[in-house]
Structure 1
Amino acid sequence: MKMYNLHIVRSPLQLINILEAIETLSLENNILVIIDRKSMSNNRQIQEVLHAIDYKWEMLFHIEKKSKTSFLDYVKLIKKIKAYHFKHIFTGDIDSISNVIIANLKHEKIFLVDDGTSTLKRHEALLQDSKLRFKDRMKLLRFNMFGLKAHKEYKLNFFTFFDISPKADETIVKNAFTHLKKQFNLSQSKSDKVYILGQPIYNKEIPEDIFIEHLEKILKHYQGKEIIYVKHRYENIPKAVAAVLQERAEIYTNKYPIELDFLIKQEYPRYITGFFSTALYTLKQMFNESEVTLFHIDGKHFFKTERAEVVENYYAFFNNNGFNIIK
Structure 2
Amino acid sequence: MTDSSAPISVFVASTPLQLISCAEARHAYGCRQEDTLLVIARPDNRETERQMAMLVNTLGWRGGEISYLTKRTFYVRLAALARRLSGCRIERLFIGNKASWIHEVFYRSFDNSQVIFVDDGLATVKYYHAIHREGMPSRISVSKRRLLRTLGIRTHRAIPQDIVFFTFFPLPSTDQIKIRHHDFPVFRQCFRTTVRDSRLEPLVGFLGQPFGGKDRLQRLALQIQHIVSSYPGRRIVYFMHRKESRDELQKALAEFPVDVRQAGRPIEVEVALSGHRYLAFFSFASTALFTLKTMFPDIRVVQIDDPALAVKLAYYDEMLELFRAAGIESVRLNEA
Q: TM class, shorter-chain normalised?
A: 0.7 to 0.9
Match of 2:8 in 1: 4
Aligned pair count reads 318
Partner residue of 2:22 out of 18, 27, 36 = 18
Shift in Å, 1:160: 0.7
CA–CA distance in structure 1, aligned partners of residues 70 and 318 of structure 2 = 35
- 1:178 maps to amino acid: P
| 1:171-204 alpha-carbon deviations (Å, 9 max, x no partner) | 42222111221222432447731111112235x3
Partner residue of 2:245 out of 236, 242, 245 = 236
Match of 1:173 in 2: 180
Shift in Å, 1:283: 0.5
Question: What root-mean-square deviation, in Å, do the aligned CA atoms of Structure 1 and Structure 2 show?
Answer: 2.7
Quick check: 2:11–2:95 contact (8 Å CA) kept in 1? Answer: yes
- The TM-score, its normalising length taken from structure 2, stands at 0.84
CA–CA distance in structure 2, aligned partners of residues 74 and 131 of structure 1 = 19
Quick check: 2:109–2:154 contact (8 Å CA) kept in 1? Answer: yes
Of 80-89 and 256-265, deviating more is 256-265
Please, which runs of 5 or more residues in structure 1 have no aligned partner?
Answer: none
Which contiguous aligned blocks of 4+ residues in structure 1 show a shift greater than 6 angstroms? none
Match of 2:47 in 1: 41
CA–CA distance in structure 1, aligned partners of residues 28 and 15 of structure 2 = 20
SS in 1 for 2:61: coil
Match of 2:110 in 1: 105
Shift in Å, 1:266: 4.3
CA–CA distance in structure 2, aligned partners of residues 323 and 132 of structure 1 = 34
Quick check: 1:274–1:294 contact (8 Å CA) kept in 2? Answer: yes
Shift in Å, 1:156: 2.4
Quick check: 1:187–1:268 contact (8 Å CA) kept in 2? Answer: no
Quick check: 2:167–2:180 contact (8 Å CA) kept in 1? Answer: yes
Shift in Å, 1:102: 2.1
CA–CA distance in structure 2, aligned partners of residues 245 and 223 of structure 1 = 17
- The TM-score, its normalising length taken from structure 1, stands at 0.86
Match of 1:61 in 2: 67
CA–CA distance in structure 1, aligned partners of residues 177 and 331 of structure 2 = 36
Match of 2:37 in 1: 31
Partner residue of 1:227 out of 208, 230, 236 = 236
CA–CA distance in structure 2, aligned partners of residues 132 and 18 of structure 1 = 23
CA–CA distance in structure 2, aligned partners of residues 117 and 12 of structure 1 = 14
SS in 2 for 1:150: coil
SS in 2 for 1:106: coil
Relative to structure 1, the CA distance from residue 200 to residue 132 in structure 2 (aligned partners, 3 Å threshold; closer, same or farther) is closer
Is 1:85 aligned with 2:89? yes
Quick check: 1:190–1:270 contact (8 Å CA) kept in 2? Answer: no
CA–CA distance in structure 1, aligned partners of residues 232 and 122 of structure 2 = 30
Alignment of 1:139-218 (within 5 A): 139-152=144-157, 153-154=159-160, 155-168=162-175, 170-189=177-196, 192-201=202-211, 204=213, 206-218=215-227
Of 32-41 and 164-173, deviating more is 164-173
Quick check: 1:104–1:148 contact (8 Å CA) kept in 2? Answer: yes
Quick check: 1:270–1:289 contact (8 Å CA) kept in 2? Answer: no
Identity %: 21
CA–CA distance in structure 1, aligned partners of residues 37 and 11 of structure 2 = 6
- 1:173 maps to amino acid: R
